[in-house]
Structure 1
Amino acid sequence: MSSIEELQKRLGVTIDSETLRLALTHRSYSFENGNVPTNERLEFLGDSILGFCIAEYLYETQPDLPEGDLAKRRSAVVSMRALASLARDLDLGQHIYLGRGEKQSNGANKPSILADTMEAIFGAVYLQHGMAAARTLILGLIAPLLEDEDLLGAATDWKTVIQEQAAAEKMGDVYYAVEGAGPDHARTYDAVLHIGDRVLAQGSGPSKKEAEQEAARLSWKMLHPPKQVPAK
């Protein structure tokens, strides 16, 4: 099996050789090879498709998140960092057509080049197979990142989300029972979230604020188990 066949197997979709080569052609290669077409137009297309698919997925699976938090989560998982990480997992860099200068400067591992090429692949799949196939590929790769709290970082203020839900649904007062332990230089905190007479989740952290945020995040997940994405 050729390396290109292995790439397509990892992607789980077949792209014809001409379209795939276009998706993998960086402008530095084009400059040194008679200005052959580059992947920039496919990248433009793929970026739009990616943003739409993730926005749709978040809208369907996170019905209680406000617009601002939906936008932050989308931004986190379609970021250059996230897309470059996916490209590395697929070993995409070795397949990109680069000019000599980019090859010498390790362009095959540059986040910007990897992320742009990943978007071009999404665009190529859309052109070859349509939106359903592009959506399946995108969600298969990116939806798991929505569970990666390191990647999401501070994308969501969980305390605010819980507070707003409790108020909207008249669930009762929200408060945190917080306890600290350990020496001052290495103190840890445990926070238990209460809503009305319900005791929800406990979170831990190196500060009261972080412990409360973790308790709120875990409580939100308890209140909102994952939902199946409807088939298209």
Structure 2
Amino acid sequence: MSKHSHYRDRKMFLKKAEQFKKFQERISVQFQNEKLLYQAFTHSSYVNEHRKKPYEDNERLEFLGDAVLELTISQFLYAKYPAMSEGDLTKLRAAIVCEPSLVSLAHELSFGELVLLGKGEEMTGGRKRPALLADVFEAFIGALYLDQGLDSVVDFLKAYVFPKIDDGAFSHVMDFKSQLQEFVQRDGRGILEYRILQEKGPAHNREFEANVSLKGEVLGVGSGRSKKEAEQHAAQEALEKLQKHHMKQ
């Protein structure tokens, strides 16, 4: 290796080291074994161009992270939605761990800036390639699990993933009306009644408000761009209210 390339590599390494330091500070995670952190962001193209150095790519960590992510998300959903069927739980989990969702999270956390890429992959826009970013997110989860265990992974997801589920980011794949119906029928409480309360706005931008009641008691109110969406949001509010009450008993 020439002195020039050695200097260039060292300069790049110091820059990356500073980036990883700031990254850990930003997400409030401090790796005990930073080699795992570096590996999570090392693409196979980088390893192929640095064969004389002991670099490892992130593919094995990605394999592990995929399994850890499915487990932790499954555990969260199982506890959060006691009335949800196995099929709906599977559908919701798939929406959370699918490539577009992981890419969105990777962008939010600026993962792309940290990835170590080979020159060819860099030139063809690999740093912004969705599949690559999703893989890096899974590899990071795998690295965090190996470094600090499952509790730290859950803490990380509590900060960056679970709030999105709570805020309804994946509600488009959830059928709250069916869940509410199952919850009510299970306890033999009676028949649910949905009612459209009002419509407002011009025809091209109409908004509906609906409520759902049981034996005359309003359980939830919701709004949406269609009657169906408004009823779903009303059912979601009712379901969350009933589940909280059920857990306190």
TM value normalised by structure 1: 0.86
Aligned equivalent of 1:163? 181
Which of 5, 25, 28 is the aligned partner of 1:9?
Answer: 25
Match of 2:172, SS state, is coil
2:131 corresponds in structure 1 to 112
Confirm whether residue 144 of structure 1 aligns to residue 163 of structure 2. yes
* Residues 201 and 218, structure 1, Cα contact 8 Å, conserved in 2: yes
Letter in 2 for 1:157: D
- Aligned partners of 1:200 and 1:219 also within 8 Å: yes
1:71 pairs with 44, 67, 90, which one? 90
Percent identity among equivalent residues? 36
Aligned pairs, how many? Answer: 227
> Per the alignment, do residues 111 and 167 of structure 1 end up closer, same or farther by CA in structure 2, a change over 3 Å counting?
same
Change (3 A) 1:185 1:74: closer
One-letter amino acid matched to 1:13: V
Residue 175 of structure 1 pairs with residue 175 of structure 2: no
Question: Which position in structure 1 is the counterpart of 2:42?
Answer: 25
Structure 1 unmatched ranges of 5 or more: none
Where 2:25 maps in the other structure, the secondary structure is helix
- Whichever residue aligns with residue 17 of structure 1, its letter is E
Deviating more after overlay: 161-170 vs 67-76: 67-76
Q: Map 1:1-232; keep pairs closer than 5 Å.
A: 2-15=18-31, 16-34=33-51, 36-149=55-168, 151-178=169-196, 179-181=198-200, 184-225=203-244
TM-superposed CA distance for 1:143, in Å, is: 1.1
Distance 1:4 1:215 in 2: 44
Root mean square deviation, CA, Å: 2.5
- The CA distance in 1 between the partners of 2:94 and 2:114, in whole Å, is 27
Letter in 2 for 1:152: F
Point out the more displaced range, 165-174 or 104-113: 104-113
The 1-side partners of 2:106 and 2:206 are apart by: 39
TM value normalised by structure 2: 0.81
Per-residue CA deviation, residues 159-178 of structure 1 (Å, 9 max, x unaligned), is 11111111111221111112
Deviations 1:19-38 (A, max 9, x none): 22211111222232229531
Q: Deviations over 1:83-142 (max 9, x none)?
A: 222222222211111122322233222222111111111111222222222332233322
**1:49 Cα deviation after fit:** 0.7
Mark the CA change 1:198 to 1:10 in structure 2 (over 3 Å): closer, same or farther: same
Counterpart of 2:3 in structure 1 is none
Contact persistence 1:61–1:226 (CA under 8 A): no
Give the Cα separation in 1 of the matches to 2:23 and 2:191: 53
Q: Which runs of 5+ in 2 are unaligned?
A: 1-16
